Amino acid sequence: MAAATTMPQAIPKELNLRVFTEARPYTLEEKYSICEAVFTNMHEGNSLRQSCRMIGIAYQTVNLWWNRPAKDLDEEQEKFVSWARSRYHESRIAMLDRIAEDTIRLSDQSLEGTIVVEKLSDEGQLQVVERKTVDNVQRAKLMVDSRKWLLSKLDPGRYGEKVTLAGDPDNPVKHVTEIKRTIVKPSSAEKEQPKI
C-alpha cells in the first residue's frame, strides 16, 4: 500500500483544510472536492479510512454522503450521490488492483534484513559475535500472504481462490432433466434375426 505520507492530488488550493474539520453542513462544491481528493488517494492504494485521515476529515462523514436514503435528497444531491457511488466503486477497484500489484512487487523484490548474533561475555556484557545480511523470505511471504488474504475477502470474485460450482447470481447454473420415451417400430431386418 502507498505510504501515509502521500499527499492528496485533488484538493483545490482555494479550499482550506480547516473547512473540512468544522462541524457544519458542507456545500455541494466542497463535497465534490473532498470526495475527489479521497478517491484520488484510494487510487494510490489507500483505504477509505486512510484517505479521509490524510485530508483531515472523518471517514464516517464522507461515507454518509453517498449512503443516505433517497427520500432526503433533491435533484442535485441525487446527482452527487450517484456520482460519488460510481467513483467510490471505481476507486475501490483501483485500490484492490494496487494492492495486487503490491503483492507481485513484494514477491519479486529482495527484502534484506540483518541477523545479529550476540554472546554474553565473562564481564556480563553482550558482545556482537556475528552480523549477517540475509534475504528475509519469511517476512516477505507474510506480507504477500496477508495481502492475498485481504484481496480474497474484499473481492472474492476476482481474487478469491475458491471456485463456486453454483454459478453466479447474474448467470445461474440451470439444471435440465429430460426423459424421453420413444417407441420405434422394428424394421423387417431386425425381425428376421434369430434371438440368441
Per-10-residue mean pLDDT, the chain, length 196: 45 48 75 93 92 89 82 85 93 94 88 79 81 80 91 87 66 76 71 63
Question: Any idea which residue has 483544510 for its cell?
Answer: 17
CB 8 within 8 A of CB 57: no
The Cα–Cα gap between 97 and 17 comes to: 29
C-alpha cell at position 130: 556475528
Amino acid 7: pLDDT:
45
Amino acid 65: pLDDT:
87
E strand segments, 9-125: 112-120
Amino acid 90: pLDDT:
95
Determine the residue type at 37: A
CA distances from 11 to 7, 14, 35, 37, 62 (A): 10, 8, 9, 6, 15
Number of H helices, E strands in the chain: 8, 4
The pTM of the full predicted model, rounded to 2 decimals, is 0.60
Amino acid 179: pLDDT:
80
Burial class (CB in 10 A: 0-12, 13-18, 19+), 98: middle
Question: Any idea which residue has 472523518 for its cell?
Answer: 58
Amino acid 69: pLDDT:
75
Question: Any idea which residue has 479510512 for its cell?
Answer: 49
C-alpha cell at position 120: 554474553
Burial class (CB in 10 A: 0-12, 13-18, 19+), 162: exposed
**DSSP code per residue over 26-43:** PPHHHHHHHHHHHHHHHH
Amino acid 120: pLDDT:
81
Amino acid 43: pLDDT:
92
Amino acid 89: pLDDT:
94
